[in-house]
Amino acid sequence: MRPASSDTWRIAGWPRVRNGSADESGHADYECVKICYNTQVFDQGPRSLSLLRQELGHVATGEQSGLLPRWLRPPIPLNHSKRIAILGATGSIGQSTLAVLRHASQATDSALAENGRFRLFGISGHENLADLAAAAREFQPDFVVCSNPESNSHWSESCPEFSGRFETGADALVALASHPHVDVVVAAIVGRAGLESTMAAIESGKLVALANKETLVVAGHLATDLATKTDARILPVDSEHSAIFQCLHSGCGREIRRVILTASGGPFRTWTAEQQRNVTPEQARAHPTWKMGAKISIDSATMMNKALELIEAKWLFGLEPEQLEVVVHPESIVHSMVEFVDGSILAQCSPPDMKLPIQAALDYPNRFDSPASRLDFSSSFGLNFEPPDMDRFPALLVGLEVASRGGSCGVVLNAANEVAVQAFLERRIRFSEIVPVCRKVLDSHPFEPYPDLKSILELDCWARLESCQCISSY
Ligand code: NAD
Ligand code: MG
């Protein structure tokens, strides 16, 4: 199977980060290298740079590695099934993750036989015990957590046949996230409520498939510092960040000019500011291209979701705020783009379906057949791009400012937004008042450049109280 010319070898799996300098002694510079010839995987595993050079003649783009953050490296391959914990298994991302695992367990193709190594070790949910019980019956995990302590007494009625470990409360979430038998934690709890468990997973050195963008918004500096110390991986589930991550494989850190996050524009993309005043929660929840939980749907309608994603991208990819841009793309097919210094722009495209970015994170750097829908070129369709209107969607300006200022701005913005979104859902404020509440609380907060976790939690409480007061004055 070895090709005649070493030039035809390809290293896949992006062995981005060199481990050290000891390649002459045979130590692995790359923790995980997948060596391919055309579509065939020849070898996989830790390799030294000098051995790779001897074997392959040259080391493709691997030598440019080391410029992306450590937490984006491929994980060390396991010799057993990947044991997965889904935090927030009853939500939209949690259910899509279950669909990916279901597909992987049922598929018979050889790539999946190789990759059919997922085992659902644990799940959590907060309120919907029926969905939690259904997942427990189907996947028979070892550990089920109901994070809402009040639902304790109902579990045995909901799932009498479950014989594994069942616990309730926030501490149980942390216990699941850091459990020694868990390899991959899918962080799919919505909002600030996901912070402690996501941080616990990072602290325990897990591979974190991160949907809970709020963790990076609130504590991006702490999460990334911690991941560097514990060797945890943080891989994106958010579709834009997954797209950027996939595009980044064509270059390296210093070759990136900018990343361009696409935004659908939400249900009110073409509405005037005046029209947006009387929007109802039902209208705001009806996203034109994605089916998501309530909070992120409202965030998409105000475009605060894109604001949070700018901050998420800054931390995840170690980018300067000036390298971040947003373009409105109503079809949600181009999930984001990366422009390199030579002017080349790479994009990742697929129909809007979260199953694809979820499985990209679960099995990175591998790819396997997906239950996600495919683009169909048998009929014509168009792709449109337009600049965002910052006047009608001021949340974007707030996001850019918070990405630039950093420090305590993220936690304050996130808390104010969560409170304002909830108030809107309960019809206590207008849709058009959500962003002004965030702006007011952000402007009045005591800025801290590098808050520790204790300060973050205090600022979160402070900002929630301030937001409530602000809302009561409307
Ligand atoms: P969702 O509302 O559908 O589900 C949220 C999950 O979190 C549920 O399992 C719920 O039981 C749990 N939860 C709620 N409150 C909790 C609490 N206080 N403590 C512990 N658990 C709690 O939300 P979603 O749309 O799946 O979004 C989840 C996360 O993924 C969010 O951070 C969101 O921004 C992100 N995300 C979602 C999508 C999407 O398509 N839905 C896309 C990209 C990113
Ligand atoms: Mg997104």
Give tens-digit pLDDT for 244-275: 999 998 877 778 899 999 999 999 999 999 99
pLDDT confidence tier of residue 366, bands split at 50, 70 and 90: confident
Mean pLDDT of 319-326: 94
Same domain, 150 and 271: no
pLDDT value of position 33: 56
Closest CA relative to residue 298, chosen from 319, 311, 283, 314: 283
pLDDT confidence tier of residue 153, bands split at 50, 70 and 90: confident
Same domain, 245 and 228: no
Same domain, 180 and 51: no
CATH at 222: 3.40.50.720
Residue 308 CA, closest ligand 1 atom number: 34
Question: Which protein residue has the closest C-alpha to ligand 1 atom 23?
Answer: 293
Q: State whether the beta carbon of 248 lies less than 6 angstroms from ligand 1.
A: no
Residue 173 CA, closest ligand 1 atom number: 20
Domain that holds residue 219: 82-237
pLDDT tens for residues 454-474?
999 999 999 999 999 999 998
Question: Which protein residue has the closest C-alpha to ligand 1 atom 31?
Answer: 190
Buried b (16+ CB within 10 A) or exposed e, 95-131: bbbbbbbebbeebeeeebeebbbbbbbbbbbbebbeb
SS3 at position 259: strand
CATH at 278: 1.10.1740.10
Q: Assess whether pLDDT exceeds 60 at residue 21.
A: no
C-alpha 430 – ligand 1 centre gap (Å): 23
Question: Ligand 1 pocket check: which of 189, 210, 359 to mutate, most ligand atoms within 8 Å of Cβ?
Answer: 189
pLDDT value of position 216: 98
What's the token pair of residue 327?
């373009």
pLDDT confidence tier of residue 61, bands split at 50, 70 and 90: very low
Instruction: Give the domain-ending residue among 209, 237, 265.
Output: 237
Give the predicted TM-score (pTM) of the model: 0.88
Residue 71 located in a structural domain: no
pLDDT value of position 335: 98
Same domain, 62 and 88: no
Question: Which protein residue has the closest C-alpha to ligand 1 atom 27?
Answer: 190
- Asked if 208 and 362 touch (Cβ cutoff 8 Å), the reply is no
What's the token pair of residue 23?
């390649």
Q: State whether the beta carbon of 129 lies less than 6 angstroms from ligand 1.
A: no
Residue 126 CA, closest ligand 1 atom number: 11
Helix ranges (H only) for 116-250 are 129-139, 155-158, 170-177, 195-203, 214-230, 239-247
Q: State whether the beta carbon of 236 lies less than 6 angstroms from ligand 1.
A: no
